[in-house]
């Protein structure tokens, strides 16, 4: 399969617009040397760089990254089409109302698959499950639990669409999640929907708008949020989303403000491990992972590396593969930034081991692999294998 990287896509888009590297650099706030290095694969295209280049050339960040990265199998295409149909028919479910216990178990299984980063298996069950949950909610009227299940399933669907590189579908799913959350008074579901809405702005590189969504959701939730511990989990997760958006926006003060609030909320949780609620994971462990990632976005990779060893050696309790895999990818980014090529490769191997599907699809995993591949590492069999898995080579 022929595949292009983010840097190659930037070069092609720049040339087709008859823009020089100097012109792109000025528009995106990058040096000519940096533009040259990302185009040739000597530096990774970070989220902030992708956003800046996308804005400068009036394209989407998905186009910069070349999503989706791989040819779809016929089965995957059919599953995605089925999900689109289910999302489109959100008020017209074709499925019957199932047994309540069976539905509850299936919703729990969907949340488990999302947390385990088993996206293709989750995609297989979502269309029918969404229909059954929606039929149940309509039959139950304004029941908060029933509509909360629908909202949670849309949260799972968002994760699938986001990771499979389908931004338009992800946007539509978020609107459906908000619709479900608004069918009854359910502040937790509404906040979870806002968390994903801010995620669509994050994916598009519109970090300031995403921060506005987060700040508005925090104010609204604080006015009428749920009881502990759900209050701390939901509110803390919103602050963690704020950490990502603020750090990518290069706003160190806002990053620290969201981190401080997240730490305070995490300290209020009675249990010693992170909690998963409404597809939101929160606690001291996940807060530490977000802090590490923020150091990278704020160009402090040495601080990220100093945090990495204890977190990788003994990952915080309660964190699922989707979060641990992301930890290893972030550490790979940090180690590459300080010139630790071997350490970056080891971290990538750990990511593929704990969360293979996510690692194959994650833009920054792909970017670190690409840089290592270009840096005269082609003879390393394990690196070659990773390059094939992310679609960088046949």
Averaged pLDDT, groups of 10, the chain, 394 residues long: 75 96 97 96 95 96 83 88 97 97 98 97 98 97 95 98 94 97 92 97 97 97 78 96 98 98 93 89 97 98 97 93 97 97 95 96 94 77 89 80
Q: Hey, which residues does 282 pair with through a beta bridge?
A: 275
Does residue 50 contact residue 61 with C-beta atoms inside 8 Å?
yes
User: How many residues would you count in the chain?
Assistant: 394
User: By C-alpha distance, which of 315, 358, 323 is closest to 240?
Assistant: 323
pLDDT, residue 227, reads 65
pLDDT, residue 2, reads 41
| DSSP output for 197-249 | HHHHHHHHT-HHHHHHHHHHHHHHHHHH---TTHHHHHHHHHHHHHHHHHHHT
CA distance 288 to 307: 8
Question: How many helices (DSSP H) and strands (DSSP E) are in the chain?
Answer: 21, 2
Entry pTM: 0.94
User: By C-alpha distance, which of 45, 30, 46, 48 is closest to 249?
Assistant: 48
How would you label 62-82 residue by residue, b for 16+ Cβ within 10 Å and e otherwise?
bbbbbbbbbeeeeebeebbeb
pLDDT, residue 212, reads 98
Angle, vertex CA 273, rays to CA 277 and CA 227, nearest 5: 45
Residue 280 phi, psi dihedral angles, 5° rounding? -110, 130
Angle, vertex CA 111, rays to CA 107 and CA 116, nearest 5: 145
pLDDT, residue 270, reads 81
| DSSP output for 122-167 | HHHHHHHHHHHHHHHHHHTTT-HHHHHHHHHHHHHHHHHHHHTT-H
Structure tokens at 175: 């609107």
Does residue 248 contact residue 51 with C-beta atoms inside 8 Å?
yes
CATH fold of the domain at 1-66 = 434 Repressor (Amino-terminal Domain) (1.10.260)
| DSSP output for 91-103 | T---SPP--HHHH
User: By C-alpha distance, which of 219, 213, 227, 209 is closest to 178?
Assistant: 213
Spans of all domains in the chain: 1-66, 72-185, 186-299, 308-394
CA distance 355 to 349: 10
pLDDT, residue 331, reads 98
Helix (H, G, I), strand (E, B) or coil at 281: strand
Cα distances (angstroms) measured from residue 26 to each of 33, 52, 90: 12, 10, 45
């Amino acid at each position: 399969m022929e595949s292009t990287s983010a840097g190659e896509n930037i070069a092609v888009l720049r040339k087709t617009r008859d823009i020089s590297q100097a012109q792109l650099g000025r528009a995106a706030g990058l040096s000519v040397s940096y533009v040259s290095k990302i185009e040739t694969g000597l530096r990774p295209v970070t989220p902030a760089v992708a956003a800046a280049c996308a804005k400068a050339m009036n394209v989407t960040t998905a186009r910069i990254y070349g999503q989706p990265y791989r040819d779809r199998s016929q089965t995957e295409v059919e599953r995605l089409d089925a999900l689109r149909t289910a999302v489109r028919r959100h008020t017209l479910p074709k499925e019957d109302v199932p047994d309540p216990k069976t539905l509850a178990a299936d919703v729990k299984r969907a949340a488990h698959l999302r947390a385990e980063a088993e996206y293709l298996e989750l995609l297989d069950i979502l269309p029918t499950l969404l229909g059954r949950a929606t039929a149940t909610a309509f039959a139950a009227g304004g029941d908060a639990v029933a509509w909360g299940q629908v909202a949670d399933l849309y949260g799972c669907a968002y994760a699938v669409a986001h990771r499979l590189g389908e931004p338009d579908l992800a946007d539509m799913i978020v609107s459906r999640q908000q619709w479900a959350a608004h069918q009854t008074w359910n502040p937790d579901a509404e906040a979870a929907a806002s968390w994903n809405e801010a995620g669509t702005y994050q994916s598009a590189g519109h970090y300031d708008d995403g921060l506005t969504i987060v700040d508005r959701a925090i104010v609204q939730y604080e006015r009428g949020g749920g009881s502990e511990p759900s209050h701390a989990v939901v509110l803390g997760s919103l602050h963690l989303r704020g950490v990502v958006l603020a750090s990518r926006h290069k706003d160190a003060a806002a990053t620290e403000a969201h981190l401080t609030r997240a730490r305070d909320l995490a300290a209020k949780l009675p249990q010693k491990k992170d909690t998963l609620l409404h597809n939101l994971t929160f606690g001291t462990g996940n807060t530490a992972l977000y802090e590490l990632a923020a150091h990278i976005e704020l160009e402090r990779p040495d601080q990220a590396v100093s945090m990495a060893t204890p977190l990788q050696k003994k990952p915080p309790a309660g964190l699922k593969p989707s979060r641990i895999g992301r930890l290893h990818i972030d550490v790979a980014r940090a180690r590459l930034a300080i010139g630790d090529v071997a350490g970056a490769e080891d971290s990538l191997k750990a990511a593929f081991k704990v969360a293979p599907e996510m690692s194959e699809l994650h833009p920054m995993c792909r970017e670190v692999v690409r840089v290592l591949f270009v840096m005269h590492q082609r003879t390393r069999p394990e690196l070659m294998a990773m390059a094939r898995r992310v679609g960088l080579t046949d």
